[in-house]
Structure 1
Amino acid sequence: MSRRFNEYEKQFIANSLIEQGKILFSKFGFQKTSILEITKNVGIAQGTFYKFFNSKEELYFVILEMEEEKIKEQFTNVDIFKENQPNKAIKSMLRQMIKTIETNPLIRELYFGSNMEKMLRKLPPEVLEKHFNNDATSLLSLIEKWKNEGIIVEVNPQIIAGILRSLFVLTLHQKEIGVEVYQETMDLFIDLTVDGLIKEE
């Protein structure tokens, strides 16, 4: 007979699974980390895992969303008018964001091998749709913030959001772009994006 947990225990175990999952995924990667290893570190039976998450992919996705939220919060709060050079500040913000994405082991791991394919296959469509909608909403909110702070956006904000997403997708294709020209390509892409789509009032 399986044990029943009270609400405090449920929350504690869920948080512990997330914490240990983050540690193990970062250290060993998604493929080499097993549910057994995670539950062993938490101190629960392997079968208990499924009371909290339907799969290893779902746990990873929850952790990934938390990582992305921290990145969004960090850059959404940047004061682009601090030095009276909004365009320069936005370029710097985008470069820092790209660097964070490039060096975050949890985000990078998603794109190794068939990890992305497995993730998309295992997760319910409504979960993925909600995630993509939240991403779009976050970008649109940031663009609206720039408009409200005096930046005039000449193009439909949804198109700008799409361009920014394209910028982040490029970080996954260093080999295709060419490792030797990747950094200069990204720098130029950011300069052209900001100078071409956003101008100071």
Structure 2
Amino acid sequence: MEGSIIARKFNDEEKIYLRQKLVTEGKKQFGQLGLKKTSVALLTEAVGIAQGSFYLFYESKEELYFTILEMEEAELRQQLLHSVNLEEKLTKEALKTFLKKGIALIENNPFFQQLYTENVLEIVMRKLPTSRLEQHFQQDSDVFFPIILSWQKNNDLIDHAPDVILSVFRSLIILSFQKK
């Protein structure tokens, strides 16, 4: 553990409060400085805890970053899902609009911009346990498979494996960051 000050014990209420403060401060610092320039020392100083105490909450700053990224993604997902009306027929134009909206939401989010333009994805993936990444990808599947299956059921979308279709959607999003 980093830091020379010994981490103290916190009660459950303090843990909840400090975890939220770390998320809030992390969102601010990572959003302004990025993952590489944001240090554990900067985060803990802003929250008012010893550096060693940080590791009671997160194994690394990359884990905190990923936690925030998942929160941002959940919010974007909700915005995107509100634009889907499964009662209406999926047209080419509606699918195009859906994908464009998803790409626009991601492109306008500093965390997703950093993920793909500053090689943050590679750094985060190296630091996180495989199980955490698998759980994250499963959440995407849990959200989007029902939509894909509904479109397929209504014969609005090609009858192909939903994971393949979701992978194509992901690829389009990643490609959008390679414009330059």
Shorter-chain TM-score above 0.5: yes
Matches of 1:2 and 1:25 in 2, distance apart? 23
Match for residue 68 of structure 1? 73
**Partner deviation per Cα, 1:48-75 (whole Å, 9 max, x = no partner):** 1000000010000000011111111111
Q: Name the SS of the counterpart of 2:59 in structure 1.
A: coil
In structure 2, do the counterparts of structure 1 residues 171 and 37 end up closer, same or farther at CA, with 3 Å as the change threshold? same
Letter in 2 for 1:71: L
1:76, 1:142 within 8 Å by CA — same for their partners in 2?
no
In structure 2, do the counterparts of structure 1 residues 59 and 153 end up closer, same or farther at CA, with 3 Å as the change threshold? same
Q: Name the SS of the counterpart of 2:156 in structure 1.
A: strand
Percent sequence identity is 38
**Partner deviation per Cα, 1:109-146 (whole Å, 9 max, x = no partner):** 12234422221111111111111222233221221343
User: Unpaired runs of 5+ in structure 1?
Assistant: 176-201
1:35 to 32, 40, 43: 40
Q: TM-score, normalised by structure 2?
A: 0.86
1:35, 1:46 within 8 Å by CA — same for their partners in 2?
yes
Letter in 1 for 2:156: I
CA RMSD of aligned residues (A): 2.0
1:81, 1:89 within 8 Å by CA — same for their partners in 2?
no
**Per-residue deviation, 1:158:** 2.5
1:80, 1:89 within 8 Å by CA — same for their partners in 2?
no
In structure 2, do the counterparts of structure 1 residues 2 and 95 end up closer, same or farther at CA, with 3 Å as the change threshold? closer
Match for residue 17 of structure 1? 22
Matches of 1:146 and 1:74 in 2, distance apart? 19
Counterpart mapping for 1:1-201 below 5 A: 2-80=7-85, 86-87=90-91, 88-147=93-152, 150-156=154-160, 157-175=162-180
In structure 2, do the counterparts of structure 1 residues 36 and 136 end up closer, same or farther at CA, with 3 Å as the change threshold? same
Q: TM-score, normalised by structure 1?
A: 0.77
